[in-house]
Amino acid sequence: PYTYENSNHNNNLSFIVTTDGVLVFNAGGSYLVAKAMHEEIKKVTDQKVKYVVLENS
């Protein structure tokens, strides 16, 4: 469940960097979680996010 502490983070977020771009697996349950994940991706690669798979949509 959503709480202030978990920012609605209720699933496992991950990403894979490929030569074609970044695949994100589960983008997060809120804009703030997705934004934080995108900031982490930018620390690893300058590739653009090309695919998003939502497991729990």
Give the pLDDT confidence of 27-46 residue by residue, as tens digits: 877 788 888 889 999 999 99
Return d(Cα 19, Cα 9) in angstroms, integer: 28
Strand runs (DSSP E) across 1-57, as ranges? 14-17, 22-25, 49-53
Residue 54: the pLDDT is 86
pLDDT band at 25 (very low <50, low <70, confident <90, very high): very high
Residue 23 phi, psi (nearest 5): -105, 125
Return d(Cα 45, Cα 27) in angstroms, integer: 17
The count of residues in the chain is 57
